[in-house]
Amino acid sequence: MQTTPYSRPEFDPYGSNDVPEDTTAHWKAPLASSPVVGSLQIPGSKSLTNRELVLAALANGPSIIHRPLHSRDSRLMIEALRSLGTTIEEVPGEGAFGLDWKITPGELTGSTTIDCGLAGTVMRFMPPVASLALGPTTFDGDEGARRRPMATTITSLKALGVDVADEGRGSLPFTVHGTGSVTGGKLTIDASSSSQFVSGLLLSAARFEQGLDLTHSGERLPSLPHIEMTLEVLRKRGVQVENPEVGHWIVKPGPISAVDVQIEPDLSNAAPFLAAAVVTGGTVTISGWPEHTTQVGDDLLEILPLFGAQVTREGDKVTVSGSLDASGKPVISGITLDLTTGGELAPAIVSIAALASSPSTITGIGHIRHHETDRLAALATEINKLGGKVAELEDGLHIEPAQLHGGVWHSYEDHRMATSGAIIGLVVPGVEVENIATTSKTLPEFPELWSKLVEPKSS
């Protein structure tokens, strides 16, 4: 097989939020002059790509990741693993969205610094890997990353006997003093503020001398499907994992097999495109939708009908059609939804709800205050600035119908805030999204894919 070294392009569209001036200028959200009708493919899943990168680096031989996500978050994960001693090369691929990757595990050396950017998967998955390295690894990230909770990762590693220097902050920056091995064993943690604390430990646990017997003890456990995803990718690589009851996981020590994997499309990133059908009364088809998946984006197929949309499936094609009234106007009903399992979907769901003709209440998402930004505050602020009526609840949002008007929509360095502004801008004239380039976190192609779908004739 031909391989080319993994190289940085001259201008790295995935590398940073510090993008050139013209790409951070406000982006005039395309207004749909008629119902949006189209079909598209979505690039690879962030959550699967970054899990598979970690596991491939910890595996017992080289392997290939087919159709990975090429974005800022996956680039940060690649750089993190490379700096610890993993070789990652680009190889020709069949995906519509770029090259595949060949990962060759190497001895994990520390004495490095890892830039987590704003990627939860990098900041929560990599410290346990760094604990297995021989030498210190310092973790830091964007300003916004320093506000994201890290205390559970830090205290977990300390409880497992790893020396972590965080000066009592419980957040980035901190240094993991790896000694080349982790004993492992029994551990109880509070993962109420992110499922990623659990996934991060489970991903490395087979390499701990005694494996890991992990229990969650806390008021809630969000994003369970993401933990299911972690269990599934571990099992596919021959790791023995048990989940005897909710909130209890056991990973046996042993090798992580080197297997070639293919990444599914990112179903959470499908949300804004499917929302385009719902809010304009159009029809959008996404191909490549997996038959079986642990991705919580699959729940969109049950959630969108609550707004009045129709969902059909034919083979790997999923089609969502919005409803129109007799005069051809989109009809959107408000919804009541507990979104504990799928907080990642909240920004798109709330944007649809803001355009509905009856009230909505979305709960179970208090923890999304700790995502890229405080998403409850950001969504309420931005929708209300456009004339909306959104009230923050302790663990969610209540949205009353309102006539929205145009204005600047702030993104808060949050990819899903940016795409939420685009959804509203489809039917509200004059919405301008600040920093659309922040979509590069998980979907650098967003503006292009969106224009192709919404303005097919002009693009």
Ligand X SMILES: C=C(OP(=O)(O)O)C(=O)O
Please give the positions annotated as active site: 344
241 bridge partner residues: 251
117 binds ligand S3P (CB under 6 A): no
Work out which of 74, 86, 196, 294 binds ligand S3P, going by CB under 6 A: 196
d(CA 433, CA 26): 5
DSSP 133: S
3-state helix, strand, coil in the chain (%, to 5): 35, 25, 40
Q: State the binding string over 286-315 for ligand S3P (x if CB under 6 A, else -).
A: ------------------------------
Three-class SS of residue 457? coil
Phi (first) and psi of residue 7, to 5 degrees: -125, 150
Give the residues lining the site for ligand X (CB under 6 A). 119-121, 344, 371-372, 416, 442
Residues 133-162 that bind ligand S3P (CB under 6 A): none
Q: Give the other-Cβ count within 10 Å of 452's Cβ.
A: 14
* Residue (371 or 398) nearer to ligand X, CB: 371
| Length in residues, the chain | 459
Buried b (16+ CB within 10 A) or exposed e, 381-406: ebbeebebebeeeebbbbbebeebeb
Residue found by looking up tokens 């192609």 in the block: 445
Residues 92-111 that bind ligand S3P (CB under 6 A): none
Query: H or E element: which one contains 177?
Result: strand 174-179
State in angstroms the smallest separation of the CB of 132 from ligand S3P: 20
* Residue (102 or 367) nearer to ligand S3P, CB: 367
121 binds ligand S3P (CB under 6 A): yes
Work out which of 199, 294, 341, 440 binds ligand S3P, going by CB under 6 A: 199
223 binds ligand S3P (CB under 6 A): yes
195 binds ligand S3P (CB under 6 A): yes
* Sheet architecture: strand order including 248-251: 185-189, 212-216, 248-251, 241-245
Alpha-carbon torsion (59, 62, 65, 69), positive or negative: positive
340 binds ligand S3P (CB under 6 A): no
Work out which of 105, 120, 127, 281 binds ligand S3P, going by CB under 6 A: 120
Query: H or E element: which one contains 113?
Result: strand 112-115
Question: Is residue 363 within 8 Å of residue 314, measured between CB atoms?
Answer: no
Which of ligand S3P, ligand X, none sits in contact with 119, Cβ below 5 to 8 A by type? ligand X
Residue found by looking up tokens 């410290």 in the block: 127
Which structure tokens are listed for 304?
A: 């969108």
**How far, in whole angstroms, is CA 69 from its chain's centroid?**
11
* Residue (120 or 447) nearer to ligand S3P, CB: 120
* Residue (258 or 303) nearer to ligand X, CB: 303
Question: Is residue 211 within 8 Å of residue 250, measured between CB atoms?
Answer: yes
Residues 18-77 that bind ligand S3P (CB under 6 A): 47
* Residue (321 or 419) nearer to ligand S3P, CB: 419
Question: Is residue 148 within 8 Å of residue 370, measured between CB atoms?
Answer: yes
269 binds ligand S3P (CB under 6 A): no
347 binds ligand S3P (CB under 6 A): no
Residue whose beta carbon is closest to ligand X:
120
Which of ligand X, ligand S3P, none sits in contact with 222, Cβ below 5 to 8 A by type? ligand S3P
Plot region of 213 (φ>0 → left; ψ -120 to 50 → alpha; else → beta): beta
State in angstroms the smallest separation of the CB of 230 from ligand S3P: 7
Which of ligand X, ligand S3P, none sits in contact with 288, Cβ below 5 to 8 A by type? none
Cα separation values, 248 from 30, 90, 186, Å: 46, 37, 11
State in angstroms the smallest separation of the CB of 13 from ligand X: 18
Region from 11-19, 192-200, 280-288, 397-405 binding ligand S3P, contact rule CB under 6 A:
192-200
Which of ligand X, ligand S3P, none sits in contact with 421, Cβ below 5 to 8 A by type? none
* Residue (222 or 388) nearer to ligand S3P, CB: 222
Which of ligand S3P, ligand X, none sits in contact with 223, Cβ below 5 to 8 A by type? ligand S3P
Which of ligand S3P, ligand X, none sits in contact with 280, Cβ below 5 to 8 A by type? none
Which of ligand S3P, ligand X, none sits in contact with 438, Cβ below 5 to 8 A by type? none
Question: Is residue 158 within 8 Å of residue 164, measured between CB atoms?
Answer: yes
Three-class SS of residue 176? strand
- Please give the residue ranges that form the binding site for ligand S3P (CB under 6 A): 47, 120-121, 194-196, 199, 222-223, 226, 343-344, 367
